[in-house]
Copies of this chain bind each other. A is one copy, B any other.
Amino acid sequence: MLYGALEAGGTKMVTAIINEKGEVLDRASFPTETPETTMPVLIDWFKERKPDALGIGTFGPADPDEASPTYGYITSTPKLAWKDYNILGAFREALNIPIGFDTDVNAAALGEASFGCMKGLSDGIYITIGTGVGVGVLTNGKLLHGMLHPEAGHILLATNPKDSFEGCCPYHKNCFEGLAAGPAIEKRWGKKAVELKDVPEVWELEAEYIAKALVNYILILSPKKIVLGGGVMHQLQLFPLIRKKTAELLNGYINTKEIHDIDNYIVPASLNDNQGILGCAKLAENAIR
């Protein structure tokens, strides 16, 4: 079997062909322009490679509810060219193969659960912190959708009293994404995150906001593993700071073997930034079943 994988992002579309072992046999990347210009390129790429099934992990909001009339649509995205766009339908019509569909972060969570550090776990979360913050959630062995799908990058946090930055989410002044995604770091400190590597207070504050979010994820979802990926998390100096601050904030309230072994509980993505496309391959496999 050959699985097609499409990680549909707001800036780029990553395509891949992956075999049953999770080996990436081919991959490419295309800028995300409009459905009219971008979709034919993607469709041709997959048509030439003839996968047996396709898995799509998309930016959102999207509709992953199979029972919904807008299943497979990118819905109320601020990227207006893609608003209410039936991306699943377009691929179905062009390729005529089974297609799985979910959010980009749910796909990444599935990638880690199928091939990476969440393998064998029934419950875990994958968080990406980059230009935005997204969270994919696995509960009871299944990806979580519920009413829509988690939008846990937008949870409200208590702002550090010394932080005068107002947050840069257009919806919520003090949400996680608005306080801690890449653009927030750049606006608060006046430089890009990568240029601030040696400024400790940047990462102390960043770790504090990430830890405040993790504490709420832990208390609400009770995950068995927390995987952090995305551009900001390439700053690996964050990990020890996040772990320390998370333990401090929980303050001994949750007594589990996982929390006591926090170095193996809060971890970096384990699949060299292939967690998304590998998860898409798994969505493709599931679509065949």
* Interface set of A (CB-CB < 8 Å, partner B): 61, 75-76, 122-123, 135, 137, 139-140, 142, 144-152, 154-159, 171-172, 174, 212, 215-224, 249-256, 258-259
Contact = CB atoms under 8 A, between A and B. Distances in A.
Given A147-B222, A158-B159, A171-B253, 15 more contacts: A75-B255, A123-B144, A135-B220, A139-B140, A140-B140, A147-B259, A149-B222, A150-B221, A151-B219, A151-B253, A152-B220, A156-B157, A156-B212, A172-B253, A221-B221
B252 A171 contact: yes
Given A139-B139, A139-B144, A172-B249, A157 B155 contact: no
Nearest to A212: B156
A1 to B, nearest CB: 26
A146 to B, nearest CB: 3
Nearest to A169: B253
Given A144-B140, A157-B158, A220 B222 contact: no
Determine the main DSSP class of A at the interface with B.
loop
A150 B219 contact: yes
Contacts of A250: 171
Contacts of A159: 158
Contacts of A259: 147
Which of A122, A148, A159 has the most chain B CB within a 10 Å cutoff?
A148
A216 B220 contact: yes
Contact of A144 (B61, B156, B157, B221): B221
Contacts of A249: 156, 172
Contact of A222 (B148, B216, B253, B256): B148
A105 to B, nearest CB: 12
B140 A219 contact: no
B147 A223 contact: yes
Contacts of A145: 123, 222
A224 B154 contact: no
30 contacts: A76-B255, A123-B144, A123-B146, A123-B147, A135-B220, A139-B139, A139-B140, A139-B146, A140-B144, A144-B222, A145-B222, A146-B221, A147-B222, A147-B223, A147-B256, A147-B258, A148-B254, A150-B221, A150-B222, A151-B219, A151-B222, A151-B254, A154-B253, A157-B158, A158-B158, A158-B159, A216-B220, A217-B220, A220-B221, A221-B221
